[in-house]
Amino acid sequence: MLRFAAIGLDHRHVYDMTAGLIAAGAACVGHDPETTDPRVLNGFRKRFPQVPAVDRERLLDDPSIDFIVLCAGPCDRAGVAIEAMRRGKDVMVDKPGVTTAEQLAAVEAAVRQTGRIWSICLGRLTSPSVQAALRVVRSGELGRLVHLTSLAPHRLNRALRPAWFFERDAYGGIINDIGVHAIDQFLAFADAPDASIAAATIGCFGTAADIAPSGFEDFAEFSLRAAGVSGNMLGTMRLDWFTPDGLPDWGDGRLFLVGTEGTLELRKNLDIEGRAGGNHMFVANQQRTRYCDCSDLPVTYYRDFLDDVRDRSGGMMENGRVFTVCRLALRCQATAVRFTP
């Protein structure tokens, strides 16, 4: 059985990542209690009472630990990941895996030098509905894919956020932070190795004046172009922190695909006046429309990651794709025009 440790309990994503790996057959044998948010640490201990607290250095030095799950503050993730890889461990990291181009270059160098796996837990990999939509696209039902629109609203939950969440240098900007999901998703649907940036805009529209000067951004919109296997494709992505409290989820994530022979829509989180739960897919082709509840479809990311750690197959997600996604996110963030309302 593969063994792992949780280091950097600074974001609640560590709960799902740890639970997913345990369900896939791995054993969590320790957690580093160092945190910038005691609420996350308490939540981890409540969910995984059997996992002992162990000093970070001991976890990194333990040769029986195969990999680490890393949810430290975003600007600290690259350094911890590099240290872990140099000590013989693979890494599954929360997004964003890096916050600067220099960090990305250092991570790439560490992967080359050590041969270790550095995997970012991206939304596409853990979403049943996105995986279902990819199968529809690859079946040819929609014809040649022409355009993708991704909407990713989030709830701010200001009272629950640690200080680093609002500091531009700490989290890397809105596109680098949550936009990395959309970029990875776009490349997957375009079946393209890379993309070019057509336009990018960021701004701070509704956030309280006392945190706006720190560089926090609550809205972004950007467009990408890609030359995929079946032809050129365009994509428009919108990100924001404006999910209203009245919505019964953290956001109404949606995806729209336009093909030459059909269209597809995903409502990832909820159907606000209809069916219960999330992972709703709607398809229209030349003959009919259909609905698919994707909520019970299996998510294989955690199992695939363990297979890669075990047999070094690289089948789950090549590091080259992860680096491309990060590079695009950083470039898009750096070149975005800041809009002042």
CATH number of the domain encompassing residue 158: 3.30.360.10
Residues 152 and 101 in one domain: no
Instruction: Compute the C-alpha angle 114/331/93, nearest 5°.
Output: 40
Order across the sheet with 219-228: list the strands.
289-293, 280-284, 263-267, 254-259, 145-153, 231-240, 219-228, 196-203, 337-339
Q: Is residue 320 part of a domain?
A: no
276-311 pLDDT tens trace: 899 999 999 999 999 999 999 998 999 999 999 999
Q: For 98-137, what is each residue's pLDDT tens digit? A: 999 999 999 999 999 999 999 999 999 999 999 999 999 9
In a domain, 323, yes or no: no
Six-digit token string for 73? 């503050």
Could you give the angle at which helices 179-190 and 128-139 cross, rounded to 10 degrees? 20
Q: At what angle do helices 13-23 and 38-47 cross, to 10 degrees?
A: 20
Range from 96-100, 230-234, 238-242, 248-252 carrying the lowest mean pLDDT: 230-234
Say whether both 35 and 164 belong to one domain: no
- Say whether both 50 and 147 belong to one domain: no
Residue 47 lies in a domain: yes
Q: Residue 228: phi, psi to the nearest 5?
A: -90, -175
Among candidate residues 72, 270, 280, 94, the one with its CA nearest the CA of residue 180:
94
For the chain, the average pLDDT equals 93
Residue 210: pLDDT band (50, 70, 90) is low
DSSP-derived letter for residue 250 is S
Count the neighbouring beta carbons within 10 Å of the beta carbon of residue 318. Answer: 12
Cα torsion for 69, 71, 77, 80, to the nearest 10°? -50
201 Cβ contact partners less than 8 Å away, ≥ 6 residues apart: 220, 221, 222, 336, 337, 338, 339
Structural domain ending residue among the three candidates 102, 121, 140: 121
Cis amide linkage into residue 96, ω under 30° from 0? yes
**Same domain (yes/no): 293, 175:** yes
Shared domain for 58 and 146, answered yes or no, is no
Residue 160 pLDDT greater than 90, yes or no = no
What is the domain extent for residue 223?
Answer: 124-299+331-339
Q: Is residue 145 pLDDT above 90, yes or no?
A: yes
How many folded domains does the chain comprise? 2
Domain closes at, from 84, 99, 121: 121
Residues 248-273 have a mean pLDDT of 93
More confident residue, 319 or 12: 12
Question: Any idea what the Cα angle at residue 332 is, between residues 331 and 337, rounded to 5°?
Answer: 120
Give the pLDDT mean for 20-37: 97
pLDDT of 36 higher than 70: yes
Using the predicted structure, report yes or no on whether residue 214 has a pLDDT greater than 80: no
